[in-house]
Amino acid sequence: MYPGVHAEQFPDKPAVVVAGGEVLTYGQLEERSARLARYLHDAGLRRGDHIALLSGNDPKVFEVYWAALRSGLYITAVNRHLSPAEVAYIVDDCGAEALIVSAGLAAVAEAVVGDTPKVRIRLAYRGSVPGHESYEDALAGTSAEPLPEQPRGMDMLYSSGTTGRPKGIKPPLPERRVDEPGDVYTAVFGTLYGFGPDTVYLSPAPVYHAAPLRFGGVVQALGGTVVLMEKFDAEQALSAIETHHVTHSQWVPTMFVRMLKLPEATRARYDLSSQRVAVHAAAPCPVDVKRAMIDWWGPVLHEYYSSTEGSGITFIDSEQWLRKPGSVGPAGVGVIRICGEDGEELPAGGIGTVYFERDALPFAYHNDPGKTAKAQHPAHPTWTTTGDVGYVDEDGFLFLTDRKAFMIISGGVNIYPQEIENALTLHPKVLDVAVVGVPDPEMGEAVQAFVEPAGEAGPGLGDELREYLRERIAHYKVPRAFTFVDRLPRTPTGKLVKGELTR
């Protein structure tokens, strides 16, 4: 399904609500996305062409998203926190012929005009931007009659670039119309998590990211309501759950940590009983953090492990996780293959690169066949990886140890920073932590921790954290040095940009 079906049944029902603010109804979403689709079609865009979007968490994001999906277009939502040069690179690399921007990002939008020569249609909403036409005027002057042919489009999103330049992830376009069934995300996640017309889905993360954008689309395809937070705030998130009677939500582990560190009286102030499913993904969740969340919210937590590439997916609910703490679950889409350095598949318990086997290659990196080939198993082209390392137990449950790029080799021994970070996450004097390897003339690499303290970092905090870790992990894994920083470089979706720590 798609929102047009629900617009006929309940046009005045909210499709998107900004927490404490604007409402976009299904009738409005249908009309505006149909107008934009026709405007782009009249401008010459056809199936397989690209548009780009630069915006904050705004209901209009979904107008643009559904206009692309009902036109057979690729849509690239761009990280609004990037520099003008980085934004221009993505817009130009994806081949966008149209760029739609929020006037709230006027400085960046204006700055990229000269570096995006392929763009011939520039629209700005909620205000004016030099070099851009009015989005609202463009829609007002265009028919709301849906196009006679509405082939299904797709998103083409870019990786976060935490270990290098962002890569465009291009899936094949489906051979079906927008109103025909067959979308894997709607079928898999909609069924698994019980999305439907009564769903109220809280989205506290940036919608340019794959999960918030796609899950918002799934909720709207099934007739539910998306509640957008303009940005995450721990107490405001709890307030939104109570105010909007949220039934479903999606989080990243850093959000859990921030909520858990609220004063107990603040946490107890809000009625969270409407929750049925709280999904988390995007980054590994420390065992102690997840256990504390289940103790607080009950067995409503569901986790999935996947990637923007969509190589495969694992799923695990609260009951399964309590039996296998730390697991991200068995495969739900694809077959898990754990391979050693020589490419050979490892037995249960063996730690290696995580691949997913699929019937066909699920994606390609846009304009980069070399990176696509690097993501494929050398002997099995439909086995793909994003570089994560882990193992599968005897029951088929996947456990992640870290990303291959982050592994530290000290004195010939493999050390996974994630284990150290997890051990420190809930220390009362630690707000955030990142562990990296730094060059060492004797050991090759040494372990160093960068810590964002919860308060002032007193002179003895490093020694206190070192002793705390010695009680929890092997001594050779304990960082030799602690560096205290004002803020760690995380993307808004919770991923650490570790490269910035060692520059």
Tell me the CATH number at 365: 2.30.38.10
Residues 107 and 11 in one domain: yes
Q: How many CA atoms lie less than 13 Å away from 407 in the CB half-sphere?
A: 18
Indicate the pLDDT class of residue 266, thresholds 50, 70 and 90: very high
Structure tokens at 493: 């979706």
Structure tokens at 275: 């929750």
For the chain, how many structural domains are there in total? 3
Range with the largest mean pLDDT of 157-161, 273-277, 417-421, 446-450: 273-277
445 domain-assigned: yes
487 domain-assigned: yes
Order of all β-strands in the sheet with 23-25: 23-25, 14-18, 225-228, 200-203, 248-251, 277-280, 301-305, 313-317, 331-333
253 domain-assigned: no
Q: Which tens digit of pLDDT belongs to each residue from 96-107? A: 999 999 999 999
Residues 389 and 416 in one domain: no
Residues 419 and 378 in one domain: no
- pLDDT of 357 > 80? The answer is yes
- pLDDT of 161 > 70? The answer is no
Residues 474 and 381 in one domain: no
**Boundary-marking domain end, from 173, 203, 221:** 221
What is the pLDDT averaged over residues 54-70?
A: 98
pLDDT of residue 164: 59
- pLDDT of 228 > 60? The answer is yes
pLDDT of residue 426: 87
Residues 371 and 490 in one domain: no
**Boundary-marking domain end, from 200, 221, 242:** 221
**Boundary-marking domain end, from 404, 434, 458:** 404
325 domain-assigned: no
Residues 146 and 63 in one domain: yes
pLDDT of residue 416: 81
pLDDT of residue 244: 97
Q: Which tens digit of pLDDT belongs to each residue from 406-435? A: 878 787 777 888 889 989 988 999 999 999
CATH number of the domain that 451 lies in?
A: 3.30.300.30
Cα 177 from chain centroid (whole Å): 26
pLDDT of residue 160: 67
Contact between residue 429 and residue 461 where contact means Cβ atoms under 8 Å apart? yes
Torsional sign, CA 341, 345, 350, 355: positive
Name residue, tokens 């979706």. Answer: 493
Residues 18 and 129 in one domain: yes
pLDDT of residue 275: 98
DSSP character for 116?
-
Task: Say what the pTM is.
Answer: 0.85
Single out the residue of 468, 353, 441 nearest to residue 449, CA to CA.
468
CB within 8 A of 45, min separation 6: which ones? 51, 71, 73, 97, 98, 121
Indicate the pLDDT class of residue 463, thresholds 50, 70 and 90: very high
Burial class of residue 233 in the structure, from the number of CB atoms within 10 Å of its CB (0-12 exposed, 13-18 middle, 19+ buried): middle
238 domain-assigned: no
pLDDT of residue 117: 97
Residues 39 and 146 in one domain: yes
What is the pLDDT averaged over residues 213-230?
A: 97
Residues 358 and 493 in one domain: no
**CA angle at residue 214 from 210 to 215, to 5 degrees?**
115
> Which helix or strand (DSSP H or E) is residue 186 part of?
helix 184-193
pLDDT of residue 386: 87
Mean pLDDT of the chain: 93
Strand partners, 249: 202, 278
pLDDT of residue 162: 52
CATH number of the domain that 138 lies in?
A: 3.40.50.12780
Q: Which tens digit of pLDDT belongs to each residue from 118-137? A: 999 999 999 999 999 999 99
Residues 349 and 488 in one domain: no
Cα dihedral value 290, 296, 301, 306, nearest 10: -30
294 domain-assigned: no
Residues 28 and 110 in one domain: yes
Residue 168 dihedral angles phi and psi, to the nearest 5°: -75, 130
CB within 8 A of 226, min separation 6: which ones? 15, 16, 17, 62, 201, 203, 216, 219, 220
Q: Which tens digit of pLDDT belongs to each residue from 290-302? A: 999 999 999 999 9
* Percent of the chain whose predicted confidence (pLDDT) is above 70: 98
What is the pLDDT averaged over residues 153-168?
A: 80
pLDDT of residue 163: 52
Structure tokens at 307: 């990637």
Residues 357 and 464 in one domain: no
Residue-range definition of the domain harbouring residue 459: 407-501
Residue with the bigger pLDDT between 37 and 440: it is 37
Q: Read off the amino acid at residue 267.
A: R
Contact between residue 151 and residue 177 where contact means Cβ atoms under 8 Å apart? yes
Strand partners, 305: 314
Q: Which of 96-110, 181-195, 421-435, 438-452 has the lowest mean pLDDT?
A: 438-452
307 domain-assigned: no
CB within 8 A of 26, min separation 6: which ones? 3, 6, 7, 10, 11, 12, 13, 14, 15, 220, 223
320 domain-assigned: no
d(CA 377, CA 361): 11
pLDDT of residue 410: 84
